[in-house]
A and B are shown apart, each in its own frame.
Chain A
Amino acid sequence: MKGYRYLPDVATLTLDREKCTGCGLCATVCPHRIFVVEDGRARILDLDACMECGACALNCAWDAIEVHAGVGCASAIIGSWLRGGAAPSGGDRC
């Protein structure tokens, strides 16, 4: 995203190019424009810009994308720690 970069080398996003059919929906729904379709297959351009929202994986009809999706929100993560490790889903304030 223009003007902003978050921590590098941490995003859990993976793309299985063998399963990819190049439909391009991942590139359409990604709010950070990190995918590009080249030669009939998707490619990850900028992994460090991934915010793990999960839109691409949910909209991949061929299960080619995996990501530990969730909200990048400190208070939600504190809430999940207090509840004993349940996945953060956004607290009451989000």
Chain B
Amino acid sequence: MTGVLETAAGAVPRVATAPTWRDRIGGWRVRWGIRRDAYRVDPGLYAVGDPGPDSPVLVTANYKLTFDVVRSDLAGRDAWLLVLDTRGINVWCAAGKRTFSTDELVRWIDGIGLSQVVAHRRVVLPQLGATGVAAHVVRERTGFRVLWGPVRSADLPAFLDAGMKATPEMREVTFPAYDRLVLTPVEVLGTASYGWWVLLALFAISGLGPWVFSLGAVWHRGFAAVSVFIAATLAGGLVAPMLLPWLPGRAFSVKGAVSGLLVGIPVLALWDRPLDAATVAAVLLGLSALSSFVAMNFTGSTPYTSPSGVEREMRRSMPWQALAAAASVALWIGSAWIGKGGV
């Protein structure tokens, strides 16, 4: 905050447009999923620069990462920023959850007395907010006309300079490599919710063998199994998202199974030889099954998968994932009887 601006509807805080090192660290932290739910700003009206009654009103969400990007993109401009209470969730997801919604927008337009602050009757919304906001209903209830802004806030300056007109490019979502990359830490770390139980189970089954149960095998074979688990998590949560446009198949489960096999080859190459067939099969089946499952969960991070499509892919692929995982476990236990136990 850099002071306050007095308006007909009361004092409005003015925000800086240059992010501080604390903002940058905060942004990095939430990308790693650390206290991501609590990264919020207070909802309400903010001033960017020195706005007046004719300045545009831009609406956004109260996820601080979103708020920081939008105010940075507005550097050097005068505008009003109306921040809705989306419980710290970004615009698109909040629109899907109906917290970035018609009711919420109407509530704030009325609540802060926006019609006293500005002389015009227009609010600019991010296009992806259309999933939660019905423009015609907002107009009926408040008199304010909703103008659909660009998908990306980086296009706001060009949109405003063009007299609030968006080019076709500004209206289409994209999913470049950088956008995929920044989403992967949360995806990989997300497997921790069940990962600890899987690790425990892997150590337990790795102890089984002709020796009945051996703590030495728990240690030796257990770590080998755990390295496969970690490799699978990275294959599905990092490699598959990064290679998304080039992996074969449209279903994420297929892409993930392929990336699991790709990662499995160097993993096996690092192990001591000779490797018996049961061990090789156990590693490749387990890796591709888990990688397939993790990659399937990346559907929620992409901007192009439909719920009907994801449900269809899940119903088709989950039986195969379960079958491959079960076969992998059976082969892994069986491999303890063959040769020297695989490691």
Contacts and interface: CB of A to CB of B under 8 A. Distances in A.
Main secondary structure of the interface of A (DSSP, over half): loop
A89 B304 contact: no
Interface string B231-256: 00000000000001100001110000
Contacts of B250: 5-8
Given A6-B250, A90-B97, A29 B306 contact: no
A70 B306 CA distance: 8
Given A74-B299, A75-B300, A92-B37, A11 B134 contact: no
B3 interface: no
Interface residues of B, number: 48
A45 B208 CA distance: 58
B131 interface: yes
A31 B305 contact: no
Contacts of B190: 75, 93
A17 to B, nearest CB: 19
Interface stretch (B24-32, B111-119, B165-173, B322-330): B165-173
A77 B307 contact: yes
A10 B89 CA distance: 28
B309 A71 contact: no
Interface string B289-322: 0000000110111111111111111100000000
Given A4-B304, A51-B303, A32 B172 contact: yes
A7 B130 contact: no
A54 B305 CA distance: 13
B306 A11 contact: yes
B173 A72 contact: no
Contacts of B175: 1, 3-4
Contacts of A52: 306-308
A53 B171 contact: no
Contact of B306 (A6, A55, A56): A6
B127 A1 contact: no
B186 A77 contact: no
A30 B136 CA distance: 16
B96 interface: yes
Which A-B residue pairs are the 7 nearest by beta carbons? A73-B300, A72-B305, A55-B130, A29-B130, A70-B307, A7-B309, A52-B306
11 contacts: A6-B306, A8-B250, A10-B306, A29-B127, A29-B130, A52-B307, A69-B307, A71-B96, A72-B304, A77-B311, A78-B314
Given A12-B308, A77-B310, A90-B96, 18 more contacts: A3-B245, A5-B250, A11-B306, A25-B135, A52-B306, A55-B95, A55-B127, A55-B128, A58-B131, A59-B133, A59-B136, A71-B307, A73-B305, A74-B297, A77-B307, A77-B311, A90-B300, A94-B97
